[in-house]
């Protein structure tokens, strides 16, 4: 063989080896369905299907971006008011994004809530670059932190979850991360329940639509790229019992949500006994087979986290109860008081008919099994309340009209 022929052979061989290496590395990640449900108190697995199959996390990657951010806040190396500079690399990220401009500076507080609600890729990269100096350096920190948490089948290649063959994880690892966020950052974790975020005059709604309909859900993150399918990491609490669940590889956002609702409902039913772990089948016909079960489980009582039933009479045993004068509308119920206040203020801003109204946050009484803070806009007549609630519904915001005389414990200012 001539020297020229040998060189061509060597080039072709090296190219083939490189292609094979890339294929072998990327092969474990696929859009196959996987899921897991774990008990937050015991760590016990209540349901699973292929929980250790590798796939692309998509925007669930941002949970680790936020984990490292919260770690910096808790250690004092970061502050919510700290302004982070936007690089050209961050600004050029694909949507979803805030359309940040190179050279612009943004408070960390805004970047965090942009990641939580809008899943903004440019905001995630800005965070990573400003913490570690570059996105690749931040990705190395992400992977090291993942392995320290026990996420042994995870590798992070960027801060956002945009397509990258080296960005891989499993349902079990993501459940570990979600649980770690809850356990390690009790002050910051409630931010995942934020329904809406406003930036530069634009409002962005949380992508996790189950928070509006599933009883007890309060986070945490959705994700999608074409290669991964539709992913969701979620947490819900009922009667003081919290579960974390991950669904990966959903065929659509709707079918993924239905599967998540069915998994959580069946798993909550298991928490009262020591039954064996359920190995759930992949949802071959999720919309058809799960819709009835999921919708039936979302009773009007359960929907109280988005809209509470009209209460005609005062609660007889509510401590420090205060009757609400006139009609009011409830715009949400939350595990934290500050979240309820935020929801009320957003409602006031959205509807002109709300101008001049007052937000009242009602704290749970000792007889309230749900133990949630209810955000209400008060001092309407019946007609005004109906009109205001109708306007909120047009903007796809849940609300309920509350009759006069409803009494609840009022949270202290």
Contact at 8 Å (CB) between 142 and 68?
yes
Q: Which of 35, 59, 87, 160 is catalytic?
A: 59
Q: Which residues pair with 34 in a beta bridge?
A: 248
What is the DSSP secondary structure assignment for residue 163, as one 8-state letter? S
Q: Looking at the chain, how many residues does it have?
A: 413
Does 30 qualify as catalytic in the annotation?
no
The three-state (H, E, C) secondary structure of 185-253, written as one string:
CCCCHHHHHCCEEEECCEEEECCCHHHHCCCCEEEEEEEEECCCEEEEEEEEEECCEEEEEEEEEECCH
> What are the b/e assignments for 39-73, b being 16+ CB within 10 Å?
bbeeeebbbbbbbebbbbbbbbbbbbbbbbbbbbb
Contact at 8 Å (CB) between 3 and 220?
no
For 114-160, the DSSP string reads: IIIII--HHHHHHHHHHHHSSHHHHHHHHHHHHHHTT-TT-B---SS
Does 266 qualify as catalytic in the annotation?
no
Tokens encoding 104 = 């612009």
Q: Which of 34, 119, 328, 398 is catalytic?
A: 119
Tokens encoding 192 = 């995942």
Does 79 qualify as catalytic in the annotation?
no
CA 117 to chain centre: 7
Contact at 8 Å (CB) between 156 and 124?
no
Q: Which of 35, 62, 97, 267 is catalytic?
A: 62
What's the alpha-carbon Rg for the chain, to the nearest Å? 24
CA nearest to 386, candidates 351, 345, 361, 341: 351
Place of tokens 């459940």: 175
Long-range contacts, 170-173 (Cβ 8 Å, 24+): 170/34, 170/51, 170/52, 170/53, 170/54, 170/55, 171/34, 171/35, 171/36, 171/48, 171/50, 171/51, 171/52, 171/53, 171/55, 171/246, 171/247, 171/248, 172/36, 172/48, 172/51, 172/52, 172/246, 173/146
Q: Which residues are catalytic?
A: 59, 62, 119
């Amino acid at each position: 063989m001539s020297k020229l022929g040998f060189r061509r052979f060597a080039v072709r061989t090296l190219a083939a080896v490189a292609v094979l290496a890339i294929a072998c590395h990327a092969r474990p990640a696929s859009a196959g369905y996987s899921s897991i449900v774990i008990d937050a108190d015991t760590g016990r697995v209540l349901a699973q299907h292929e929980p250790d199959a590798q796939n692309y996390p998509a925007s669930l990657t941002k949970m680790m971006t936020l984990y490292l951010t919260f770690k910096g806040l808790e250690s004092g190396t970061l502050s919510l008011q700290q302004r982070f500079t936007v690089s050209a690399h961050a600004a050029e990220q694909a949507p979803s994004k805030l359309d940040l401009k190179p050279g612009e500076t943004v408070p960390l507080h805004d970047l965090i809530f942009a990641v939580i609600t809008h899943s903004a890729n440019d905001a995630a990269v800005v965070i990573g670059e400003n913490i570690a100096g570059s996105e690749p350096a931040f990705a190395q920190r992400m992977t090291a932190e993942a392995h320290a948490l026990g996420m042994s089948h995870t590798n992070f290649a960027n801060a956002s979850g945009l397509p990258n063959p080296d960005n891989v994880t499993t349902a079990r690892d993501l459940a570990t991360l979600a649980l770690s966020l809850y356990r390690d950052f009790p002050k910051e974790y409630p931010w995942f329940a934020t329904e809406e975020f406003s930036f530069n005059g634009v409002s962005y709604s949380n992508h996790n639509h189950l928070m509006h309909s599933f009883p007890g859900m309060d986070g945490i993150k959705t994700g999608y790229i074409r290669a991964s399918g539709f992913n969701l990491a979620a947490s819900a609490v009922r009667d003081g019992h919290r579960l974390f669940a991950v669904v990966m590889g959903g065929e659509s956002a709707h079918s993924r949500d239905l599967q998540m609702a069915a998994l959580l409902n069946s798993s909550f039913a298991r928490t009262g006994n020591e039954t064996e772990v359920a190995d759930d089948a992949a949802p071959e016909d999720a919309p058809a087979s799960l819709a009835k079960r999921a919708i039936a489980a979302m009773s009007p009582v359960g929907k109280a986290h988005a809209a509470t039933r009209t209460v005609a009479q005062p609660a007889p045993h509510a401590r420090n109860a205060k009757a609400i004068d006139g009609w009011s509308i409830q715009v949400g119920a939350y595990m934290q008081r500050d979240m309820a206040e935020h929801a009320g203020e957003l409602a006031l801003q959205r509807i002109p008919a709300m101008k001049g109204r007052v937000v009242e946050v009602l704290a749970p009484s000792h007889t309230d099994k749900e133990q949630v803070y209810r955000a209400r806009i008060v001092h309407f007549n019946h007609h005004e309340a109906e009109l205001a609630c109708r306007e909120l519904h047009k903007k796809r915001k849940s609300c309920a009209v509350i009759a006069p005389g409803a009494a609840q414990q009022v949270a202290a200012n």
